[in-house]
């Protein structure tokens, strides 16, 4: 019954007029940027971080979360109608979704994507409500050694699932950790890595760093790609799938939801991985294995359910452990810290209204998204006519205003320019920025836990191996590294991650 | 000795450069001991690991074949980065309206597809939107007009 009373608290928070409004703005923005290729949820959340400072923490999280799962809905619209993914997580939806659109079945494809997403979103919301309290209770027992090892394990797992070279990804994590600990050391008062600049006394501003990488550097990178003008297929038609379609998809939606929910919880997981895995699974288990690749509705239902489930369950480690599994979650932790809330297992007990309010808002947001997406899909399709040359100056403008207002400090714009150049070079050298951002967020926490663990053990590093839970995390991290370094699996992973 | 994977090689160089800067900057921070970590302990640890990873990348790049360097298009990036810095310099003395006008025009120039009327319209639209939403609706502390 605890779950019910907790959700009651949550709905009381989420159903205030103000929070309903922020939830609506969040999912609306999420849908729009989901539809638009070239701008994703990470960029948008980064751009809105400074604004969220002016809201209450509850409203801020509700707004930012809405963008993330709203984008999963919007992304499928572009994937189905234009054959280019509006979001990375709807890449696989293009395969069967666009084929359906070509056969004049765009309506049912969009419909099943929305229905699957709604079902998955509702299940994932319940799952968070059930799974989060026991997980947080376990995490409360963790000492510094356990925490340090958990972070090592989380970072390694995130790296393993990143694209491309393992060495580069680990190097990006380490670089992120180094950048994260810049600024005044809380224990000794020494200003680290300020290079004599007062602007760096408080370290590198997280908002400036993330907007530089996910906003400005991405713009510079995208400007090089040839802008393809693609044709939106004509009428969308009836969006409600037929009963036969629905019956056909029940299994796919269920499988997609479960797989997505599990993969969302893992570090490095979230919507992107979930959709790929669900499509692969569906191709292997769906009976009869009719027409995958030629417009099978199950090829839309499974990944679209999975990406929404994954988007939502990825909040579990962020909310209960304070560990971000993907860059969007890292930004959420940034949002918490802007409001002076230390992320970790105590958030749930110290701020039940915020915690349960966020969860309740996800269900409300999913409901809004179905209403927004099904009848209005024609409107979203029109958005696709907005050319990138009108979009990217707006991104730059919002990033600049955001970087300035976060501390009213012109210096942060120079920081942003520097990391924009760095981010572009990194992208060009195939160094994924996601591990860097995760490392940046975890840097100070990792150092603090390492310090405390070694203080308690009087400098004996064996403490990480003698504590059983800590050992388990480290062994898990080692196993992940060994498994991924094995050539056979390595090849498989490259195939799976290939877009 | 030939570099067979230029992308990896230069990534390695980049990481080593960052590590070198970090280790150099951290040389004055006291190390402390493992039981009582000073401010220099963790940075030293990370710097050494980062340098090691950079070296691995460089060594590997002369052994294993890899991708060639892609073309870097410096000009758009330089214009955008410059425009961001300029915004930082302009926002306090010149205010939001003027700074945004400069920013949007430079951003449009960086796209190498410059259309005058469209850019002016976009600049006006973004300025009106930003002043309306950020200054009036959200009350963010932004100067709107030049302070004389």
Per-residue model confidence as pLDDT tens digits over A310-352:
888 888 888 888 888 788 888 888 888 888 888 888 888 888 8
Residues of chain B contacting residue A185, judged by C-beta atoms under 8 Å apart: 39
Cross-strand bridge partners of residue A192:
A183
A177 pLDDT band, cuts 50/70/90, is very high
Interface residue of A174, A175, A209 to substitute, partner B, most B CBs within 10 Å: A174
B37–A414 C-beta distance less than 8 A: no
pLDDT score recorded for residue A172:
92
Question: Is the pLDDT higher at B133 or at A21?
Answer: A21
Interface residue of B29, B32, B71, B88 to substitute, partner A, most A CBs within 10 Å: B88
To 10 degrees, the CA torsion angle through A89, A95, A96, A101? 100
Residues of chain A contacting residue B118, judged by C-beta atoms under 8 Å apart: 389-390
Rounded-to-integer distance, Cα A417 and Cα A199, Å? 14
Per DSSP, A204 falls in state S
The share of chain A scoring above pLDDT 70, in percent, equals 92
Average pLDDT over residues B57-79: 87
pLDDT score recorded for residue A269:
65
pLDDT score recorded for residue A407:
85
| Candidates B37, B91, B122; nearest CB to A404 | B91
pLDDT score recorded for residue A281:
83
pLDDT score recorded for residue A229:
46
Stretch (H or E) spanning B67: none
Are A303 and A279 contacting, i.e. CB atoms less than 8 angstroms apart? yes
Rounded-to-integer distance, Cα A279 and Cα A261, Å? 14
pLDDT score recorded for residue A279:
84
Rounded-to-integer distance, Cα A158 and Cα A162, Å? 6
The share of chain A scoring above pLDDT 90, in percent, equals 14
Stated pTM of the model: 0.85
- Residue A163 pLDDT > 80: no
Rounded-to-integer distance, Cα A323 and Cα A147, Å? 10
pLDDT score recorded for residue A231:
46
Average pLDDT over residues A170-198: 86
pLDDT score recorded for residue A65:
92
Q: Within 13 Å of residue A378, how many CA atoms lie on the same side as its CB?
A: 7
Q: What number is the ipTM of this complex? A: 0.93
Question: Is the pLDDT higher at A87 or at A57?
Answer: A57
- Residue A411 pLDDT > 90: yes
Q: In 3D, which of A349, A348, A283, A282 has the Cα closest to residue A316?
A: A348
Rounded-to-integer distance, Cα A79 and Cα A308, Å? 15
φ, ψ of residue B32 to 5 degrees: the values are: 70, -160
Neighbours of A91 (CB within 10 A): 21
pLDDT score recorded for residue B20:
93
B140–A51 C-beta distance less than 8 A: yes
pLDDT score recorded for residue A499:
41
Average pLDDT over residues B50-63: 92
A365 pLDDT band, cuts 50/70/90, is very high
Cross-strand bridge partners of residue B37:
B32
Average pLDDT over residues A9-15: 88
């Amino acid at each position: 019954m605890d779950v019910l009373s907790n959700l009651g608290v949550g709905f009381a928070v989420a159903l205030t007029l103000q929070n309903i409004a922020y939830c609506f703005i969040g999912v609306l923005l999420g849908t729009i940027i989901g539809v638009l290729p070239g701008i994703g949820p990470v960029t948008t959340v980064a751009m809105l971080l400074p604004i969220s400072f002016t809201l209450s923490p509850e409203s801020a999280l509700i707004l930012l979360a809405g963008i993330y799962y709203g984008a999963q809905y919007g992304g499928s619209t572009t994937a189905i109608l234009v054959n280019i993914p509006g979001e990375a997580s709807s890449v696989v939806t293009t395969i069967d979704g666009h084929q359906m659109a070509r056969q004049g079945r765009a309506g049912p494809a969009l419909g099943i994507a929305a229905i699957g997403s709604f079902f998955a979103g509702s299940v994932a919301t319940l799952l968070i409500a059930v799974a989060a309290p026991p997980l947080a209770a376990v995490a409360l027992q963790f000492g510094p050694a356990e925490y340090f090892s958990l972070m090592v394990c989380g970072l390694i797992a995130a790296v393993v699932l990143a694209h491309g070279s393992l060495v580069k990804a680990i190097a990006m994590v380490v670089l992120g950790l180094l950048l994260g600990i810049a600024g005044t050391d809380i224990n000794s008062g020494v200003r680290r890595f300020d290079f004599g600049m007062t602007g760096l006394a408080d370290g590198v501003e997280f908002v400036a760093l993330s907007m530089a990488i996910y906003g400005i550097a991405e713009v510079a990178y995208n400007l090089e790609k040839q802008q393809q003008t693609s044709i939106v297929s004509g009428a969308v038609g009836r969006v409600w799938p037929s009963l036969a379609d629905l019956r056909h998809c029940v299994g796919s939606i269920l499988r997609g939801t479960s797989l997505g929910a599990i993969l969302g919880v893992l570090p490095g997981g979230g919507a992107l991985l979930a959709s790929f895995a669900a499509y692969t699974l569906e191709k292997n288990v769906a009976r009869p294995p009719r027409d995958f690749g030629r417009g099978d509705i199950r090829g839309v239902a499974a990944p679209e359910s999975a990406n929404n489930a994954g988007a939502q369950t990825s909040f579990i480690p962020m909310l209960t452990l304070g560990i971000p599994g993907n860059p969007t979650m890292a930004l959420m932790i940034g949002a918490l810290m802007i409001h002076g809330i230390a992320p970790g297992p105590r958030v749930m007990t110290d701020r039940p209204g915020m915690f349960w309010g966020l969860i309740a808002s996800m269900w409300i947001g999913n409901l809004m998204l179905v209403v927004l997406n099904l009848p209005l899909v024609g409107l979203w399709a029109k958005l696709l006519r907005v050319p990138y040359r009108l979009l990217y100056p707006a991104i730059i403008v919002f990033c600049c205003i955001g970087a300035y207002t976060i501390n009213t400090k012109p210096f942060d714009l120079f920081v942003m320019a520097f990391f924009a150049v760095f981010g572009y070079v990194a992208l060009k050298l195939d160094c994924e920025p996601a591990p860097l951002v995760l490392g940046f967020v975890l840097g100070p926490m990792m150092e603090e836990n390492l310090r405390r663990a070694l203080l308690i053990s009087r400098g004996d590093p064996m403490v990480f191996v003698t504590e059983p839970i800590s050992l388990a995390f480290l062994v898990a991290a080692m196993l992940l590294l060994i498994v991924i370094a094995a050539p056979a699996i390595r090849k498989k992973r490259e195939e799976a991650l290939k877009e | 000795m030939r570099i067979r994977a230029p992308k990896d090689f230069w990534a390695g160089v980049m990481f080593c450069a960052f590590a070198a800067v970090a280790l150099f900057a951290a040389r004055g921070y006291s190390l402390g001991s493992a039981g009582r970590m000073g401010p220099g302990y963790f940075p030293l640890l990370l710097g050494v690991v980062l340098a090691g990873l950079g070296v691995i990348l460089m060594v590997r790049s002369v052994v294993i074949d890899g991708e060639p360097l892609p073309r870097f298009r410096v000009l758009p990036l330089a214009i955008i980065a410059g425009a961001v810095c300029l915004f930082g310099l302009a926002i306090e003395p010149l205010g939001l309206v003027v700074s945004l006008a400069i920013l949007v025009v430079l951003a449009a120039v960086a796209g190498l597809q410059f259309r005058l009327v469209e850019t002016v319209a976009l600049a006006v639209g973004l300025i009106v939107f930003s002043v309306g939403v950020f200054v009036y609706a959200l009350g963010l502390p932004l100067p709107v007009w030049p302070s004389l």
